[in-house]
A and B are shown apart, each in its own frame.
Chain A
């Protein structure tokens, strides 16, 4: 299933973090109140797009756009988390994103990271090799020396 790219915000970082704190509080408040997904305001029509993200129809241009932080606060709708917070939570897979300047991108997660695994060989020495993502790394640790079976690491005795 294709996911609609999420647009990155270009707010100054200090202002963005401060705003995030405000919006986070709004999020909690909204969840506690069981807020509805769509609400109309005199200024902007509030909708959800195909990806479920909140958008508003600008009363002046008629075009759909992301709500401003002030509109979110006024609407008491769950805001989209600030990008830096989500980025540091290591999502599991590629998530489409679009930068403020229009660059298409993907947010990567643990399964796109390279993992190094060390295994003690029968002779007591330690070999270091790789795993494909967190899940594979954990499996390698459980299985032992799967990663030490090819190339110059492998010197068979019989």
Chain B
């Protein structure tokens, strides 16, 4: 019998006592859903750390442990106020030494402890996360097990563990350069409540028996025209890297798009030749003017020459000045910074620049750098799109190609949604384990709680008009 066994029994006993206590609470004292943080830390560890701490950002705790617990309870209260569930939701929470080094650290983990399926649930042959399954069932399906498990890194910020970067334990989002624990918890609890696909990179469902999660029932591929449950494993694997073509079809999310997501999706719209006429994904630049509507429409011309001349890193040759003057310059990424390329093109008379990535993958990354003298728009396109354009541009005159494109934004498309107003799921190519599919796409603006990157400007409000997370949970059946 090892220490883990004793720890497990300790936790089981505490869970037992907790549930017994909760059963005595009057119903009127409960919120729409009661989410309880079950402190399963050992004495003097994690939530029980007695280290004195000054109250911070609305967190009145006077010990490190109490402040941690207050932050957890704050996140639990935020979700509890929004969800409806008769059965209590218990979060088995603890702090532990997780993997880290001086410049990277596992912050924590969370998720549903179980999934269940029932013919009596709204969609049969479908896995429901246990907290949602309990709500639909009307009682605890397994009263002995917490519904969500959360483990967070007790050493974060200490020397050798992302040194100097701590969890911000305030409740006011004023985290500065530290990691806002409440925001991370809101995000992680959402996964535990059902914001999780459970589909592997190879496209297989959770099992046995292998069947879709309730999340996957709402995933739809705009290219194949199929919902994920109707696909083969191979088709799902392909769909999971079909960048910005996989959408969420739930009505609650779609109804909230107009109030949350801003209009004006950046794009490159090619209008001629007909063989290339389409909208292409772009990465936007951190310098130059913001993209606009209807945007810059001009003929596209590539550079010629060799080495730095071909890559736009030197002042343009006369041939390239003639080529790009009054046009959009197509330049490959590489050797020098983006601002150098764009400034050289601007000096040669170009009206705009598209830079073709030299690394495979999609979506194209953004163009970093700063140069306040740049006044023309610039975007990044994928390597594949650059190659496609170049195959057409091989046949051109000195200053005409017959290819016309518009660099700008589409006001008919919300940022992070498709043209039909359905929110995009994160399906980059290549696949990003842990991030792909089970998050909103990173093109969403304003930033959303359930994007794969937990951005520093998030609010603690997961509801409309700030965020779409609650809407997705409602679609799931909450």
Report A's interface with B, CB cutoff 8 A: 2-3, 8, 13-14, 16-17, 20-21, 24, 28, 82-90, 94, 96-97, 99, 101, 103-108, 110, 112-120, 125-134, 136-138, 140-142, 144-145, 147-158
Contacts and interface: CB of A to CB of B under 8 A. Distances in A.
A54 to B, nearest CB: 20
Contact of A106 (B20, B146, B206, B361): B206
Contact of A83 (B92, B106, B145, B368): B145
B360 interface: no
B144 A83 contact: yes
B179 A118 contact: yes
B333 A110 contact: no
B138 to A, nearest CB: 11
B111 A96 contact: no
A158 B12 contact: no
Nearest to B38: A88
A107 B101 contact: no
Nearest to A134: B109
Contact of A158 (B19, B333, B455): B333
B103 interface: yes
Interface string B1-38: 10011011101110110011000000000000000000
B19 A13 contact: yes
Interface in B90-144: 92, 98-101, 103-118, 127, 130, 133, 137, 141-144
28 contacts: A8-B141, A13-B20, A21-B9, A24-B9, A82-B12, A82-B144, A83-B144, A87-B144, A105-B116, A105-B117, A106-B114, A106-B207, A108-B113, A110-B109, A113-B109, A113-B149, A115-B106, A115-B107, A116-B108, A117-B107, A132-B434, A141-B100, A150-B432, A151-B428, A151-B451, A151-B452, A152-B455, A156-B365
A114 B451 CA distance: 13
B393 interface: no
Given A13-B144, A105-B114, A150-B432, A117 B12 contact: no
Contacts of A17: 9, 12-13, 16
Nearest to B367: A156
The 3 closest A-B pairs by CB, nearest first: A151-B442, A84-B144, A132-B433
A45 B435 CA distance: 51
A146 to B, nearest CB: 8
A141 B104 CA distance: 5
Given A103-B116, A142-B104, 20 more contacts: A13-B20, A13-B144, A24-B9, A28-B1, A88-B92, A94-B208, A99-B142, A103-B141, A105-B133, A108-B115, A114-B438, A116-B108, A120-B165, A128-B184, A129-B454, A141-B106, A150-B435, A151-B363, A156-B368, A158-B336
Contacts of B191: 114
A138 B378 CA distance: 38
Nearest to B334: A158
A119 to B, nearest CB: 5
B198 interface: yes
Nearest to B178: A126
Nearest to A127: B453
Contact of B165 (A13, A116, A117, A118): A118
B401 to A, nearest CB: 26
A99 B162 CA distance: 42
Of the candidates B13, B105, B428, the one having the most CB atoms from chain A within 10 angstroms of its own CB is: B105
Contact of B103 (A97, A101, A144, A154): A144
